[in-house]
């Protein structure tokens, strides 16, 4: 039996394992569900191949939306020289 959950991503937790990760995501169906703390938790085991594939796909989705995946430099690092 297949169950479809539609809602907003609230958060996630990643737990490493010997062959990949266990990813648990929290989804709120409505704003009222979020306010009341009624969240649906979905846990998924991902092996290394699946994790790489998901990472590439999310990277492509971010790029297509114009998002830069690299973190901006912190303000206090602009004046510091790079140490190599």
> DSSP states of 19-48 as a string?
TEEEEEEEEESSHHHHHHT--EEEEEEEEH
8 A C-beta contact, residue 35 and residue 14: no
Q: How confident is the model at residue 27 (pLDDT cuts 50, 70, 90)?
A: very high
pLDDT score of 83 = 58
Q: How confident is the model at residue 45 (pLDDT cuts 50, 70, 90)?
A: very high
Question: Would you tell me how many other CB atoms lie within 10 Å of the CB of residue 26?
Answer: 16
Query: Average pLDDT, stretch 5-23?
Result: 94
Query: Average pLDDT, stretch 54-78?
Result: 85
pLDDT score of 69 = 81
Query: Average pLDDT, stretch 10-28?
Result: 95
Domain ranges of the chain: 8-66
3-state secondary structure of 14: strand
């Amino acid at each position: 039996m297949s169950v479809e959950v539609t809602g907003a991503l609230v958060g996630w937790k990643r737990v490493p394992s010997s062959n990949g990760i266990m990813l648990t995501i929290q989804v709120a169906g409505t704003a009222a569900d979020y306010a009341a703390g009624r969240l649906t938790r979905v846990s998924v085991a991902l092996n290394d191949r699946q994790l790489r594939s998901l990472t590439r796909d999310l990277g492509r989705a971010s790029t297509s939306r114009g998002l830069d995946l690299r973190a901006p430099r912190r303000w206090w690092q602009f004046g510091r020289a790079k140490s190599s």
